Structure formats: structure tokens, C-alpha cells
Amino acid sequence: MIVTTAELFKVAYGEFAVGAYNINNMEQCIGLFEGNLQSNAPFILQISRGARDYARVKMLEGLIRAAEDIYPEAIFAVHLDHGNEEACFDVIESGFYSSVMIDASHYPLEENIAITRRVVERAHDKGMSVEAELGMLGGVEEDIRVDEKHAMLTDPDEAEEFVERSGCDSLAVAIGTSHGAYKFTGRQGLHLERLAEIQERLPGFPLVMHGSSSVPREEVERINAAGGAMDPSARGVDEDEFAKAVPLGVTKVNIDTDGRLVWTRVHREYFRDHPEKFDFRAPGKIFMAEYANFIAHKNQKLNSAGYLEKVRAALT
Ligand code: G3H
Ligand code: 13P
Ligand code: ZN
């Protein structure tokens, strides 16, 4: 059942973070639903502009509708990840998604507020909620690359002003994470002290953590042992830190890269071990099962596992 993102956040705040997982194809979609049901967790299925270009808007919508039918017990929201104004308006008009993210964080504050405000007005007219971003994460997102020295933590005073003036419903904050596989070079980690200051200014307001993949060392090593050439020092967010972020207001955690690593590892290993094979359905099956296990594991760490019935009860 597709629900609004706001309904999920209402139950989640302070108790768990909703896992927000990107999909681009059928295998990810099936693995995602099975992993969430395996762990009895509500979730957010999110679609980037890149995914809309890759798989086609209609194909993704068809996949999601089919999955809703195949897995009637699932409770999830459908969210546009890193939208620009044009993509947000397109999604709002389509009426299919639960919520949009307008990412105008690379503009100066006043422009970010003005753009977000315009999207909020259109979205709220249709009963949809809006996630905005303030501060600058490092890494690559859509077509924008931000290097570490230009990444900027979210300023708590600005966050309070931004939410009030833009009218957004949740806020993606920069607290040290970045997109992609290469997040931390030294001993950096989450800036939980900054998160606490933001929560103090915005009590009860849902905060979002992007760039939250863990980039497991073992996964990178297996990819490289099967012919990959990833930087072996790649490191992500310590998944045990999610439990510290939840009481500080984080209700949505975005994970994409880790799923890509599962895909890459499964396919590299399969074709290394079976060089004579060419039927992609064999590794596809392995991937779907492994991705489902991965999702179930992440939901344990986010503490969303086991909350499905509580969310269902809150909806009725
Ligand atoms: O933040 C970026 C997400 O991982 C989506 O990535 O734009 O390559 O689909 P993408
Ligand atoms: P990762 O690259 O850490 O998976 O982050 C994904 C993300 O933030 C999607 O919006
Ligand atoms: Zn992101």
C-alpha cells in the first residue's frame, strides 16, 4: 500500500528511521519489497532523476504498481530523490508519488528558500510533502560534484529560518556524510553534535540523512578480488551510528551505493566463477535474494524492522 511520507514520519520520529532505498530496475524492486517484508518494515522507495532517465518514468511507475499488487502487505511511500524544480513539478502533476525532494542546496540561501517555497506551494495543493536540503554534502549527486573542501555542514540557525520561510516538511542536513563510495578518508564520521544543535532549533521536525551507505570493506574486497578496481580505502557511515541519530530527529536515511555494491559483487563473482555462462537470470536471482537480505539487515540497524504492524494500525 502506498502511503504518504508524512504518515510514516509521524510513527517513526524518535523511534526509528525509515530506510529510503533507490531503485532503477526490476531486480532492485523485487529485492527491496522482499527485504522489507522479511524484516516487517515500512520503507520509502525513492527514484532519482537518473533512474527516471534510465528506466523511463512509465516503466518505473509500472514496476511499482505491479509490486504493490504482488506484495499487498507492504507499506511504503514513493519519493522523488534529488529533484530539481522541473522534475518536482512533473512528479507533482503526475499524482503518483507520495513526496518530492527539491534539492536547491547548491544555490545561495535566499534562492534555495525561494525555489523550495515554490515547490512546497504546488506540492501541498496536491497533498504531497516536500523534503528540502540545506548545507552541502560532498560527493556526487545527479550531475553535481562537490569536493570535500566545499562540503559544508548545515548551520542550525539557518536551518530554523529555512524551515520557517520555505514551509518544507522535512530537511536533509549535511552532518559529515557524502554520496558515493568514497565518503571518509581519515577518521571522520557523523557530526552528531551538529545534529543535536539542529534538533534543538527544530524539535519534532523530521530530519533526513543522505549519503548513508556503509561501503562495507568486505564488499569492496570481494569486488576487487573478482576483477574490480575500487579504491580499497573506500569507507562509509558506521551503521551502528544510526541508533544515535534517531533520537536526534533523523526519520529518513538514504541508502543507494551499498545496493550497487551488492549488485557489482554478485555479478562479478558469478561471471568470474562461471566464465562459460551468459544467462543473466542466474546472477539476477542471486542478487534479488542477497539484496533482500541486505535490506532486512539495514532495517535492523535503522530500527524500522518490526514496525510494519504499528504503522498499519496508525493508518486505520
Ligand atoms: O544521491 C544520489 C543517489 O544515489 C542517486 O544516484 O543520481 O546516480 O541515480 P543517481
Ligand atoms: P549513498 O551514496 O551513501 O548510498 O547515498 C544515497 C543518497 O543519499 C540518495 O539520495
Ligand atoms: Zn542523496
Domain boundaries, the chain: 5-315
- pTM listed for this prediction: 0.95
User: For residues 71 and 79, what is the distance between their CA atoms, to the nearest angstrom?
Assistant: 18
C-alpha distances in Å from residue 292, one per residue of 13, 55, 296: 25, 21, 6
The one-letter amino acid code at 150 reads H
CA of 161 to the centre of ligand 3 (A): 22
CA of 141 to the centre of ligand 3 (A): 6
Which residue's C-alpha comes closest to atom 9 of ligand 2? 254
CA of 310 to the centre of ligand 3 (A): 28
Q: Give the residue-averaged pLDDT of 41-70.
A: 98
Cβ of residue 216 lying under 6 Å from some atom of ligand 2 = no
265: pLDDT strictly greater than 90: yes
258 catalytic? Reply is: no
Q: Give the residue-averaged pLDDT of 111-124.
A: 98
Q: Which residue(s) pair with 47 in the sheet?
A: 80
User: Which one of the listed residues 53, 81, 157, 258 is annotated catalytic?
Assistant: 81
Radius of gyration (Cα) for the chain, nearest Å?
Answer: 19
CA of 49 to the centre of ligand 1 (A): 8
What pLDDT score was predicted for residue 246?
98
**Per-residue pLDDT reduced to its tens digit, 212-259:** 999 999 999 999 999 999 999 888 999 999 999 999 999 999 999 999
Secondary structure (3-state) at 25: coil
Q: Give the residue-averaged pLDDT of 134-162.
A: 75
Question: Looking at the CA of 142, which ligand is closest?
Answer: 1
Question: Looking at the CA of 180, which ligand is closest?
Answer: 2
The one-letter amino acid code at 63 reads L
Mean pLDDT of the chain: 94
- CA quadruple 271, 272, 273, 276: dihedral positive or negative? positive
Least confident residue range of 143-157, 266-280, 296-310: 143-157
- Rounded to 10 degrees, the C-alpha dihedral 275/279/283/284 comes to 160
Which of the following CATH numbers is that of domain 5-315: 3.40.470.10, 3.40.50.150, 3.20.19.10, 3.20.20.70? 3.20.20.70
Cβ of residue 254 lying under 6 Å from some atom of ligand 2 = yes
